[in-house]
Structure 1
Amino acid sequence: MDRWQHFHTLGNWLRRYREVASVGGLVYALWQRRQWKRAAEEACAAVRAGRFMEQCSFLLVNVDGLKKGANMASTVSVQTLFTRTLKSLMFDNENMVDRVSRASERATPGAPLLELGSDAWLVMANLNAHLMEACCSYGHVAAACGTPVNVVEFIYGLVNDRTTTSRQQLRVYVIRERDLRNLPEVKELDLRRSSFKSAYSVLRSMADSYQAPPAELRRHNVLSMTSGLPSGMGRTWLTFPCEAGPILSAL
């Protein structure tokens, strides 16, 4: 009789164990799934937070191409000029890379321009050097050879673009000064493309921070790269040959 009682007790214990084990297994599975999800979210967040470290895109914005009725077949509204890694952008200066990285973390969708402090002009000088190399070398050589050239004032802004949901992106937006000074209202533009909408959001922030310099400074050509500009914005003059004419050779 005692033996049967032992078997009965053992059977009850096994049934309880199966019940507890199934519940415990379910709890563990849910916990493990939550851990995997959290790890995936943290990994994605780390990728998004560090993605701007991989490359920086220089984007030239043609405001006329954003306007309603623009001929999209013949107008590139937001053109990628070139890309650089942040390290190469700062000419391998680790202190400058760290300064830009920390400033980018403080940027918000409503305030995308980087606050770089007292060394902002150094960062802007580095950006300008890349712009000069990529966009102006041909124009400067043409001018040195006596070819008529156009010199156009542009404003550029270094931003951490947080308007996209997939990633953060360190970008330099380049726009003609007169276009930034007279930036159209939203109702005049066709912003159905997400890239156009993102570009306009950044340009609007730049325009709100921009104060056009006095006419006498512009007339006497004494403006510097960062004269009167907020942190994260710089001024440059892009040079390119006038419309091509007959090629003259001195050889």
Structure 2
Amino acid sequence: MTPTEKPADKDRSGSDEAFLREVDDAVRASDLSSLWTRYGRWLLAAVVAGLLAFGGWIIYHNQVQAAADLQSEEFVDAMDKLRAGQEKEARAKLAKLAQADQPGYRAMAQLVEANLLGEDGETKKAIALYGKVAGDDSLPQTFRDLALIRQVSAEFDSIPPQQVIDRLKPLATAGHPYFGSAGELTALAYMKMGKDNLAGPIFAQIAKQEDAPPTLRSRAQQMAGALGIDTVQLDASRNAASKAGASAAKGE
């Protein structure tokens, strides 16, 4: 090959590369066009469906929140009417809330109604309603636990003490939010069985539970004292034991 042919070869090589790039670009454009022709409609439909679903979720969320706000206002109004002595109007609102979709207000409405039934002397109906709330899996656990305590309290004198203990066992443990109320009923049941040695320590634990209502703690302290447990002395003994353990761990 002569030197005079080299520039032409270079020009042809550059032209070939440019041509190949154009062909490649054309193929890609053709592929995209073909892809859009085949699937563009479905891709667009998927995007629209996603937007509609998101919009629907926002609307649903807003509706749920609006319903919850309305039920909150209805419950507060029912309580205000009860305090004002307008029991008939209040109970009508509570009956409606007892069928509400929002589980919290549904549970509270039923608990208030059960309490009103108890005050009216309709103990059996109150117990049945408490039992209904306690056994309703769709309600928050805290309301179900409260309903169980109220149910057991209402029928305390009509069921065997051991049944009281067995039913409240999951709640009558130190640290549980309802330990104070459940523990007191459990301790009283032990006393009915003549097991004061088991009742006393429970009363002592309740007396030392700082988050328990003051009246409950005071009552528990009195009961513990009546059963021969000095809660003040018990605390001193525990503190002394704790300090002794800490000293031993330090090697003092």
State the TM-score, normalizing by the size of structure 2.
0.27
Length-normalised TM-score, structure 1: 0.28
The structure that is helix-richer by fraction is 2
